[in-house]
Chain A
Amino acid sequence: MSTLTELSLADARDGLRAKKFSARELAEAHIAAVTRIKPLNAFITETPDAALEGAAEADRRLAKGEARAMEGLPIAIKDLFCTEGVLTTAGSHILDGFKPPYESTVTANLWKAGAVMLGKTNMDEFAMGSSNMTSYHGPVESPWRRRGDNRPLVPGGSSGGSAAAVAARAALGATGTDTGGSIRQPAAFSGIVGMKPTYGRCSRWGIVAFASSLDQAGPMTRTVRDAAIMLGAMAGHDPKDSTSVDRPVPDYEKALTGNVRGLKIGIPKEYRVDGMNPEIDRLWEQGIAWLKAAGVETVAISLPHTKYALPAYYIVAPAEASSNLARYDGVRYGLRVPGGTLDEMYEKTRAAGFGKEVRRRVMIGTYVLSAGYYDAYYNKARQIRTLIARDFAEAYRKCDVILTPTSPNTAFAVGEKMDDPIAMYLNDVFTVPGNLAGLPGISVPAGLGGDGLPLGLQVLGRAFDEETVLRVAEVLERAADFKHKP
């Protein structure tokens, strides 16, 4: 039944309702696919039993005509989401053996909508990375290869396992989280759709925190429609999250009217960065042309503080992370390395439990918050955030959405760029501003680079205007007609 894994999430949903196949058949096909892609190391934990159980319940409901929004649809969950009774590691050694006695709000919402869990996907440790090479459970391999080159490539990160699983047709969709681009960049690298909704749209309750003021969960799928369906199930107000916004969740699928006539698309001049791959620039021009053909108006806009987004991010995110990760101390859960004193136990546990990149960021974060440096670093970065948010507010007086490339390059090989953290950080140059300003953004696969690898275009929108973002993204998707498979 390998054709079942080729279906989009929307088509699988419709097929189930039309009784073309059962949820059990759909689940089995995906369980087999998960097994088939084992060499990619996309999953940390596989949960075939949960998938079959969920499918059985789905078939019962389908038979009674009581199907819910995602009834019987097999999906994968990034290992950053706490799942009750199922190992949750955040890609880290320090959460060894941790089985949460609770379920994150977003995954609970998905199960309430009838979705079925295939397993927990691999990721950069604590979501810190753009390559998936920082996972304690080993790197994830992209299902893609460069043209004429069989070296393994990275799927992007940090939601790399989710991206690889969806791209390799082992899941109809997957959850991701995006702190600086961790949904959109791996989506672009892997030729799939990835959406980061507005900050506050999806509850953060039960998601292992990386940088609380930036983290946001979102869907990773193969089509824009699938992203709309899945986001609808994930989103919603959660009284358990003080930053969750209390406003109704629209029917995102309904927003996909195909009609973008009269919309104004902003093109920020500052996104033409030095040393950008010319084919990325060409793709961007192509995207503009596609949207113009669909009836949009383009507007030149300026986001003058774009260049400072990345340095501000590399203060804010590590600072918050240094505090968020203080709870991993060997006392209540996870790894403990014994020590003669409490402090020795802490120091040994945290040295052994955190990988190199996490240690580095925790230390940077500790430093920028420490006495005498707070104003120069952390407060300065918060001021830059204000300026970046103002840039966007100014831009959205002239346009409805903004079109940019998702990433300045295509996927790189496993092992590349590892020795220079800054070169790695530059992967997020186009995605980070959206996190700092809390705005929704989506990456849509738009073409292949000269190396035969996928490239993505990003649509950014106004806060809580996911509908327009999705509508524009779908028009872009139709025009690009991206049919390439890994």
Chain B
Amino acid sequence: MALDRDTVRNIATLARIRVEDNELDALAGELSNILTFVEQLNEVDTKGVEPMTSVVAMQLPRRPDEVTDGNIQNKILANAPEGTRGFFAVPKVVE
């Protein structure tokens, strides 16, 4: 699959990675090469094959409903680039 500039721009937006216009063509080429490579899979007939959900043969473990965590506000905020009064802060969002 050859990706065009618009598709690459759209992917970049979805992934929230800024891509400058002058990078689009090169990136489109690289991504297209990778897609061509992985498209070998189309050679394989997978009709009726169950997609793998988990590689380990076990049941999903469940924990009891007990409060065992929290009250670590200082740890939660310790690495925050910006925070104040117990909150994280980000540029203002208008809903």
**A joins B in a complex:** yes
Interface residues of A (CB under 8 A from B): 97-99, 101-102, 199-200, 213, 239, 242-243, 245-246, 305, 307-308, 311-312, 314-315, 322, 326, 329-336, 338-348, 350-351, 354, 359-360, 362-364, 366-368, 370, 377, 379-387, 389, 421-422, 425, 436-438, 463
Interface residues of B (CB under 8 A from A): 3, 7-8, 11-19, 27, 30-31, 33-35, 37-44, 46, 49-58, 60-61, 63, 72, 75-76, 78-82, 88, 90-93
The answer on a CB contact under 8 Å between A339 and B38 is no
The answer on a CB contact under 8 Å between A351 and B18 is yes
In the bound assembly, the distance between CA atoms of A370 and B88 in angstroms comes to: 30
Set of chain A residues within 8 Å of B41, measured between Cβ atoms? 308, 311-312, 315, 380-381, 384
Contact partner of A242 (CB less than 8 A), chosen from B52, B55, B61, is B61
Set of chain B residues within 8 Å of A334, measured between Cβ atoms? 79, 81
**Shortest distance from the beta carbon of A377 to any chain B beta carbon, whole Å:** 7
The answer on a CB contact under 8 Å between A370 and B31 is no
Instruction: Given the known inter-chain contacts A350-B17, A363-B17, A367-B11, please indicate yes or no for A332 contacting B46, CB distance below 8 A.
Output: no
The answer on a CB contact under 8 Å between B88 and A101 is no
**Shortest distance from the beta carbon of B72 to any chain A beta carbon, whole Å:** 7
Instruction: Given the known inter-chain contacts A311-B41, A342-B90, A345-B90, please indicate yes or no for A362 contacting B60, CB distance below 8 A.
Output: no
In the bound assembly, the distance between CA atoms of A102 and B31 in angstroms comes to: 37
The answer on a CB contact under 8 Å between B55 and A213 is yes
Residue on B nearest A351 in the bound complex, by CB: B18
The answer on a CB contact under 8 Å between B55 and A333 is no
**Shortest distance from the beta carbon of B80 to any chain A beta carbon, whole Å:** 6
**What are 15 sample pairs from A and B whose C-beta atoms fall under 8 A apart?**
A242-B61, A308-B40, A312-B41, A315-B41, A333-B79, A334-B81, A338-B91, A342-B90, A350-B17, A351-B17, A354-B17, A379-B51, A381-B38, A381-B41, A385-B51
Set of chain B residues within 8 Å of A354, measured between Cβ atoms? 17
Residue on A nearest B30 in the bound complex, by CB: A360
**Shortest distance from the beta carbon of A427 to any chain B beta carbon, whole Å:** 14
In the bound assembly, the distance between CA atoms of A347 and B9 in angstroms comes to: 12
Set of chain A residues within 8 Å of B61, measured between Cβ atoms? 239, 242, 246
Instruction: Given the known inter-chain contacts A332-B79, A345-B91, please indicate yes or no for A383 contacting B51, CB distance below 8 A.
Output: yes
Set of chain B residues within 8 Å of A364, measured between Cβ atoms? 31, 34-35
The answer on a CB contact under 8 Å between A421 and B49 is no
Contact partner of B34 (CB less than 8 A), chosen from A331, A421, A438, is A421
